[in-house]
Amino acid sequence: MLAGAVLEKSSEKVVLRPAVDAVFALLDGRPVLFSETRQNIYQLDQLGAFIWCKLAEGASLATVYRELGELDIVEHAARRFTWQAIDAWTDQGLLDVDWQISASCAFSAILGRHRISVRADNRELLQRLVSLFCILDNEDGENDIAIEAMLLDDRVFFRGIDGGVHRCELEALAPTVKAYLTERLIRSDRWVFALHAASLANCGTGLLLCGQPGAGKSTLTLQLVDAGFQYTGDDVALIGDDGAVCGFPFALTLKEGSWELLSLLHSSWDGVTHCRADGAQVRYLPIRNAHIGSLSASWIIFLNRVASGTAELASLDQLDSMKRLIDGAFAADGRLSQAGFFALKRIVAGARSFQLTYSQSGEARALLMDLCNGKA
């Protein structure tokens, strides 16, 4: 009943196996699955039981579709029912998906202190994932993290650090892998906590742009990179116990409201549109001279974007800055430790903190350039 099922695919062999700890049974004639790992029982309807048993017997997806058709279920409905079941079982850890991908469709990239290896089963998937990274490195060497992605029907499966199989739609692949990598790197014991902040370098010292989603961090980062600042990351900044700041140099992520500015500053750029889990449409701009390594923060800017008005900087004292940073901080265990508190204290003590109220990113850019160049 738990034999592997080989799924038909144009290029590579993909194997869908019931998880070794998942068993099928009947209770009072009702079909159920039991997961030893999750210690849970999942009830199936008759159609789900049919699909499970066919896959467990070794049937291909094409065979499942055909046999559902023999039960007077039209093809598009058969595909929908089958994938609804596969999606649920994959998320519940009841199915294992395995595959082999050629090493020729691959690349490596540098992300902070990590070397990432990425392989995909076709060039379209690979190109979507290439767009995530600023620094590619295909020299021979050991990789800290490996990511593999493959396409089956209209679903994308990928696996990474945790060895588990994850799924998403094609348009969501890059944002999903980015979120996956970000979460796991934040959990690394190298860092005491992380900030929701963009980070840039100017003359060897760091500038933090702090703010919630929608505050304009990425658009303002694009403006400052165009003005000569060195990019280190636009979403998350990792903090060590010594107060050092290390950005995540993923490609700059820009939502639809910034695409016009992106076209003006990079007229030859023609990127792919991706869809995040929150439904936002985004495009990625790799910044090729991104900074690698840690920085000391000289300026901490809290963004306050408003509908209209002139850009203004208001100085903040250390206590106000600390409170705001704590509000925007997160740690692997969900708590700010004493080590994290003192790391924040070091950052605040060594930097000047301001609230930047602005409506136009061009005005905000000019004000920050003056500040960092000692003119404001």
Record the pTM: 0.84
Q: Average pLDDT of 323-347? A: 84
C-alpha distances (whole Å) from 302 to each of 81, 245, 320 are 48, 16, 11
Q: Is the pLDDT of residue 11 over 70?
A: no
Contacts of 185 (CB under 8 A, 6+ apart): 111, 112, 114, 238, 248
CB crowding 113-135: b at 16 or more within 10 Å, else e: ebbbbbbbbeeebbebbbbbbbb
Q: Please determine, for residue 371, whether its predicted confidence score (pLDDT) is greater than 50.
A: yes
Q: What does the pLDDT read at residue 10?
A: 36
Q: Is the pLDDT of residue 3 over 60?
A: no
More confident residue, 154 or 322: 322
pLDDT in tens, 243-292: 999 988 899 999 988 898 888 888 777 778 999 988 999 999 999 889 88
Check residues 270 and 320 and name the one with the higher pLDDT.
320
Confidence category of residue 376, pLDDT binned at 50, 70, 90: low
pLDDT at 205 over 50: yes
